[in-house]
Amino acid sequence: MSAVRGEWPLWEVFVRGKRGLNHVHVGSLHAADAEMAVRNARDVYTRRNEGVSIWVVKASDVTASSPDEKDPLFAPAGDKVYRHPTFYDVPADVPHM
């Protein structure tokens, strides 16, 4: 009952700018259901051909890592410099590398 009287749920909107690119988060909007969210997203976020495809996800369905940018979740990558190409010494005169 309260769902009927209450506010429409919040949807996060993702737009694929053109073929070959990922969908990127562009913002959010309210809509009663997924279909309406897609239609509203078209009007709010793609009035000038900003996209070729739209995803909408209920904001309450998003699972996020913990808030802080210093999240320990990302710590394992912090000391693994050997995952980057610059870690490896190759003489400057080796071609095409």
Q: Which residues bind another protein (CB under 8 A)?
A: 3-8, 10, 26-30, 32-33, 36, 43-44, 47-48, 64, 67-70
Which of residues 26 and 54 has its CB atom nearest to another protein in the complex?
Answer: 26
Q: Which stretch of DSSP H or E encloses residue 71?
A: none
Which of residues 7 and 89 has its CB atom nearest to another protein in the complex?
Answer: 7
Which of residues 10 and 21 has its CB atom nearest to another protein in the complex?
Answer: 10
Q: Are 46 and 64 in contact (CB under 8 A)?
A: no
Neighbour order of strands in the sheet with 23-30: 23-30, 10-16, 53-58
Taking the C-alpha atoms of residue 39 and residue 29, their distance in angstroms, rounded to an integer, is 11
